[in-house]
Structure 1
């Protein structure tokens, strides 16, 4: 396993970390088995969040007795001092630890960032928790380049997390600036939220950029862990064939696609929006029409049930035209 320093935090971490979103799909015992495998393989960076339902709790259970083997990062969407202070305490309890190595402000808009840094904002709670030894370092996650750029001007931001993958390279110049300013860069969504099927190719692309400090693919199975470690360990230059495959992926996906972050939820009428888009993707791109139709048919609420309220679009960090996209899904599947 290759190790690197997480920017100005000084933390020594594995170049590949563990993204904690998918363990919501398994259970505490499955998480424990994954953590044991991570430890054995030398992967020592773990990312989770207050918003990932049971993720912190499962990790807290799984890390008992081996907590000191890992650099633990979590994050909160709290914007005020009181709300952030409460979330920090909740994270400490869930994770069964007396300190969290990196606590991040989770995906603020420009306006919300004003609240975070203002009087009575979340930053005050983070600074107090840091002074008390409850958290060691402070970072920020973003989905827009505007917020990313502003974060680079804030001296309290020690790390920045941002999407980076074959089809989302809009942050490359800012990623390079992270390296220049010694701000740790954490690459999230290396597989574009599952839209990129070839995980090995996706991870090789991200790891080929020396300005990326750590990449955090989400994993729920040991087999995924082993595949991802192998991909990240392959430092040979990208081949012409791989570059050609990347261009084809870019052509197929473009930029107007769902990353399955689920921030659009809950839908007013109960549509599983990411699932609808996932099955449509299989129908359109991967020659799996029968499978896609079968899975789409199993959804309790179909895309055609959309009432056009638009609440999902106000939550989407990628500003996707979800209502129009759902109409297209309904047309393709006929319901």
Structure 2
């Protein structure tokens, strides 16, 4: 396993990290098995968040007795001092630890970033927690290039997390500037939220970029762990055939697709929007009609239930036309 220094934090971390979103689908015991296997394989970077339901709790249980083997990062969408202070304490309790290596401001808009840095803003709570030894370092996550660019100018930002993958390279120049400014770059959405099926190709593409400090694919199974390790350790240059396949993926997905970040939730009428788009994608992109419709039929609320309130679109960081896309899904799926 290759290790890198996470920018100005000075933390030595594995090039492949562990994304803590998918463990919401398993349980605490399954998470424990994964983490113990990670110790054996040399993966020492863990990413989670307050917003990932039970993720922090499962990880806290799984790390008992091996906490010192990991660099732990979490994040909060709190924007005020009091809310961030409360979230830090909750994270410490959930993770069963007395310190968190990296605590990040989670996906602020430009306006929210001003609030975070203003009087009684979340940054004050983070800096106080850092002074008290409860957190080691402060970072920021973003989906907007404007926020990414602004973060590069802020002296308190030690790491930046942003999407970067085969179909999303809009941040490539900003990622390069992270290296220049000694800011650790954490790559999220390496598989474009699950839209890219060839995980090995996706990770090899990312790891070829030396400005990426760590890549954090979500993992919930041993097979995913082994496959991702193999891909990140493979330094073979991409072949002409693989480059052609990447172009085909770009053509298939474009930029107008759901990354399954779930920021659109909760839907007013209970539609699981990312799942609708996932199943519809198998029909629309891969022509797997029977399989897609069978999976879609398990959803308790179908796309046709949309009342077009638009609340989901206000929350989507990618500004997708969700209402129109749900109409299309309802037509294709027949309900």
Structure 2 length-normalised TM = 0.99
Match of 2:128 in 1: 128
**Which 5+ residue runs of structure 1 have no aligned equivalent?**
none
CA distance in 2, matches of 1:235, 1:64: 34
Match of 1:77 in 2: 77
CA distances 1:179-208 after superposition (whole Å, capped 9, x unpaired): 110000000000000000100001011111
CA distance in 1, matches of 2:50, 2:334: 38
Match of 2:142 in 1: 142
Superposition RMSD in Å: 0.5
Q: What is the deviation of 1:233?
A: 0.5
CA distance in 2, matches of 1:301, 1:126: 40
CA distances 1:59-115 after superposition (whole Å, capped 9, x unpaired): 000000000000000000000000000000000000000100000000000000000
CA distance in 1, matches of 2:32, 2:297: 34
CA distance in 1, matches of 2:66, 2:283: 43
Q: What pairs with 1:104-115 in structure 2 (closer than 5 Å)?
A: 104-115=104-115
Q: What is the deviation of 1:140?
A: 0.1
Match of 1:60 in 2: 60
CA distance in 2, matches of 1:91, 1:301: 32
CA distance in 2, matches of 1:95, 1:333: 41
Aligned length: 335
Match of 1:176 in 2: 176
Q: What is the deviation of 1:334?
A: 1.5
Match of 2:282 in 1: 282
CA distance in 2, matches of 1:31, 1:289: 33
Structure 1 length-normalised TM = 0.99
Match of 2:322 in 1: 322
Q: What is the deviation of 1:297?
A: 1.4
Match of 2:37 in 1: 37
1:243 is paired with a residue of what secondary structure? helix
Match of 2:98 in 1: 98
Match of 2:151 in 1: 151
1:193 is paired with a residue of what secondary structure? coil
CA distance in 2, matches of 1:77, 1:22: 19
CA distance in 2, matches of 1:93, 1:241: 49
Q: Tell me whether 1:203 sits opposite 2:203 in the alignment.
A: yes
Match of 1:235 in 2: 235
Q: What is the deviation of 1:287?
A: 3.1
Q: What pairs with 1:245-264 in structure 2 (closer than 5 Å)?
A: 245-264=245-264
Q: What pairs with 1:268-307 in structure 2 (closer than 5 Å)?
A: 268-307=268-307
Moved over 3 A (4+): none
CA distance in 2, matches of 1:294, 1:89: 43
1:157 is paired with a residue of what secondary structure? coil
Match of 2:15 in 1: 15
